[in-house]
């Protein structure tokens, strides 16, 4: 049998987590791969990679509040998302898995691997080396901004788009990516109503976080990782220009890194070299025959 794509939902603590699964149901002992997308993206961001990763039992989820997954009443603190991911792995019936995270997904994945190392066989971080950080003395201003955002939620309501092409244009203004990649993202991120289309993600995701980790805390998490880690960096992405990237990579004990042409969403725009790096890292040979 050939791998097939299927839509899926999981019930986690009374809320629905939606996703996409690629697997050959007849295959035994296929390596398990959980894919976690970036901020305001969704499971569709991993669809371009899927044809090049046929050896895996691959699950790409919509994080809570994104795509077709339910919003979280308790909010989206990183430690809460780590808990949700652990419960996703349990709900899938997996004892452990490889974890691939893009951007925000790659910020959360190392936290999961440190908090529950038995769940994570290896990490693949695409354009990510852990969460953004701030100096400790920036916390008072951050708390103020976060509270004001929560007190004025009307500022974060989605605009109305007349058609899908307007939504694609809006997405392209927020990130450098191919038009086809933007279309794929918005297909799972739009809600149609009598006025047109609006973003279906939880508007609270755009509010300021109440607290960032310090850089020392982020590096402590990276240094505590015991699993092997692959980082995939885009030549023109976010990591290449960040001063802390090199120091963060030095914290990783069992680490490989590769730099590829492209922008922040290189796993969508040019998926084949990204998938090849993943296949080599996990040591699987994809069957791409007819």
What whole-number distance in Å separates Cα of residue 208 and Cα of residue 211?
Answer: 9
What whole-number distance in Å separates Cα of residue 129 and Cα of residue 232?
Answer: 10
103 belongs to the catalytic site? yes
Pull the structure tokens for residue 165. 């092409």
The Cα angle at residue 252 between residues 246 and 254, in degrees rounded to 5: 130
Q: In angstroms, what CA-CA distances link 251 with 113, 186, 217, 238, 243?
A: 15, 36, 12, 19, 14
Q: Which of 7, 45, 69, 103 is catalytic?
A: 103
Tell me whether residue 94 is exposed, middle or buried, using C-beta atoms within 10 angstroms of its C-beta: 0 to 12, 13 to 18, 19 or more: middle
Q: What are phi and psi of 121, to 5 degrees?
A: -75, -40
Pull the structure tokens for residue 254. 């069992």
Q: Which of 33, 49, 43, 93 is nearest to 69 (CA)?
A: 43
What residues are labeled active site?
Answer: 103
């Amino acid at each position: 049998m050939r791998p097939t794509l299927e839509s899926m939902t999981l019930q986690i603590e009374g809320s629905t987590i939606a996703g996409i699964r690629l697997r050959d149901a007849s295959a035994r002992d296929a390596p398990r791969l959980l894919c976690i997308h970036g901020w305001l993206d969704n499971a569709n961001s991993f669809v371009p990679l899927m044809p090049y990763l046929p050896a895996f039992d691959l699950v790409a989820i919509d994080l809570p509040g994104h795509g077709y997954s339910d919003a979280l009443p308790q909010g989206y603190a990183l430690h809460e998302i780590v808990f949700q991911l652990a419960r996703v792995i349990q709900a899938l019936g997996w004892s452990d898995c490889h974890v691939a995270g893009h951007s925000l997904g790659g910020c959360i994945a190392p936290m999961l691997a440190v908090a529950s190392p038995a769940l994570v066989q290896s990490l693949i971080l695409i354009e990510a080396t852990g969460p953004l950080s701030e100096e400790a003395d920036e916390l008072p201003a951050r708390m103020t901004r976060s509270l004001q955002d929560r007190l004025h939620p009307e500022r974060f309501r989605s605009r109305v788009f007349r058609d899908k092409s307007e939504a694609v244009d809006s997405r392209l203004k927020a990130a450098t990516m191919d038009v086809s990649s933007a279309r794929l993202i918005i297909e799972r991120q739009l809600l149609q109503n009598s006025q047109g289309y609006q973003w279906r993600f939880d508007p609270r995701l755009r509010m300021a976080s109440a607290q960032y980790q310090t850089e020392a805390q982020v590096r402590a998490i990276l240094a505590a990782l015991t699993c092997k880690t692959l980082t995939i960096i885009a030549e023109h992405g976010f990591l290449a220009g960040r001063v802390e990237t090199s120091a963060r990579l030095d914290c990783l004990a069992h680490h490989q890194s590769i730099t590829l042409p492209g922008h922040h969403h290189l796993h969508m725009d040019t998926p084949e070299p990204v998938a090849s790096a993943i296949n080599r890292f996990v040591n699987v040979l994809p069957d791409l025959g007819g």
